[in-house]
């Protein structure tokens, strides 16, 4: 008896997909670092539209 009328086959999911998981983690890390660098530039710190501007200015004074 199987769940929902489907047969249970040992289909590999993690083994063929591991490069995509690793690549997505690397891309996420890289984009995060680029965003942090872009938000913390001198021009971006002074821009009132920057939602992280006040936080970056407070960290710069400490």
51 in a domain, yes or no?
no
20 in a domain, yes or no?
yes
pLDDT on residue 42: 84
- 0.75 exceeded by pTM: no
Q: Are 34 and 44 in contact (CB under 8 A)?
A: no
Structural domain that includes position 27: 13-37
Spatial CA neighbour of 40 closest among 62, 30, 28, 55: 55
Secondary structure (H, E, C), 6-37: CCCCCCCCHHHHHHHHHHHHHHHHHHHHHHHH
What are the backbone dihedrals phi and psi of residue 58, each rounded to the nearest 5 degrees, phi first?
-65, -40
Chain segment 2-39, per-residue pLDDT in tens: 566 777 778 888 899 999 999 999 999 999 999 989 88
30 in a domain, yes or no?
yes
pLDDT on residue 44: 83
27 in a domain, yes or no?
yes
pLDDT on residue 12: 87
Q: Are 2 and 8 in contact (CB under 8 A)?
A: yes
50 in a domain, yes or no?
no
pLDDT at 59 over 70: yes
| Percentage of the chain exceeding pLDDT 90 | 34
Domain count, the chain: 1
21 in a domain, yes or no?
yes
31 in a domain, yes or no?
yes
42 in a domain, yes or no?
no
């Amino acid at each position: 008896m199987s769940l929902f009328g489907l047969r249970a086959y040992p289909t590999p999911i993690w083994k063929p997909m591991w490069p995509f998981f690793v690549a997505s983690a690397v891309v996420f890390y890289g984009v995060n670092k680029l965003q942090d660098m872009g938000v913390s530039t001198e021009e971006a710190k002074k821009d009132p539209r920057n939602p992280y501007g006040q936080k970056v200015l407070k960290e710069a004074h400490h």
